[in-house]
Structure 1
Amino acid sequence: MDDLAGVRVMVVDDSKTIRKTAESLLSRAGCEVSAATDGYEALAKIAELKPDLIFVDIMMPRLDGYQTCALIKGNPRFAKTPVIMLSSKDGLFDRARGRIVGSDHYLTKPFTRDELIAAVESHKPSRAG
């Protein structure tokens, strides 16, 4: 499974457990993973790290996942970067609200390795050339 080699993924979650789990699973699949504990930290790192894909937890202090996603999508440089919402609730409302702010995908926590990898697979940039 080295087809994800070099895909830059950012995981934004205030739960250290979720960050570590996602980081470990994605790293083993070949991704270059960076993490942020909240939306502000994520926004500060995005410009520098230029991730190909961003996982954002919905329930975070200070700046929640919806606000973070909206700010990422509102920036012309990152509007095309796929944002995958992470939520402990599998609610229709959360999914709909995620779509409204521009999220590309939705995963319910706890996610499985396969769900995480499949999400990256379906949104990874095509490496033409």
Structure 2
Amino acid sequence: MGSEMDENHLAGLRVMVIDDSKTIRRTAETLLKKEGCDVVTATDGFEALAKIADHQPQIVFVDIMMPRLDGYQTCALIKNNQMFKGTPVIMLSSKDGLFDKARGRIVGSEQYLTKPFTRDELLSAIRKYVPAG
């Protein structure tokens, strides 16, 4: 019974995944689509900022180490936008240092997931920050 509720909770949820790694984007997209999410991906911060207004994601997962515009800059730009400042941003990184986590908090991210992340970590982040209904 619990999994039905979870599926309903995630069905149609708009999620953005920003990562320069095709493997990470594809993995996250596959996992989230299986849960019924509507997933849009971007390879870097510039592409994400171009897509965010059109797709209006309800939660954003962003890699830290990316070319052109890194995850910290991307998160700060999202959080400084009046329309998206309430959108939860989850940082993704292969580093799990205290400094990196603190820097993520400073720019406004809600959580920090270390890569490789699991399906459960992705889904629990969504459940934690996106209200049901």
Same fold flag (TM > 0.5): yes
Q: Determine if contact 1:52/1:125 at 8 Å carries over to the other structure.
A: no
User: Residues 13-92 of structure 1 correspond to what in structure 2 (within 5 A)?
Assistant: 13-92=19-98
Residue 111 of structure 2 corresponds to which residue in structure 1?
Answer: 105
State the SS of the aligned residue for 2:10.
Answer: coil
Which is helix-richer, 1 or 2?
2
Identical positions, percent: 71
Aligned CA-pair RMSD: 0.8
The whole-number CA distance in structure 1 between the counterparts of 2:87 and 2:10 is: 16
TM-score between the two structures when normalised by the length of structure 2: 0.93
- With a CA cutoff of 8 Å and minimum separation of 6, indicate the structure with the bigger relative contact order: 1
Give the deviation of 1:95 after TM superposition. Answer: 0.4
Give 5+ residue unaligned stretches, structure 2.
none
State the SS of the aligned residue for 1:125.
Answer: coil
The whole-number CA distance in structure 2 between the counterparts of 1:16 and 1:26 is: 15
Q: Determine if contact 1:58/1:65 at 8 Å carries over to the other structure.
A: yes
The whole-number CA distance in structure 1 between the counterparts of 2:37 and 2:132 is: 14
Give 5+ residue unaligned stretches, structure 1.
none
TM-score between the two structures when normalised by the length of structure 1: 0.96
Give the deviation of 1:37 after TM superposition. Answer: 0.2
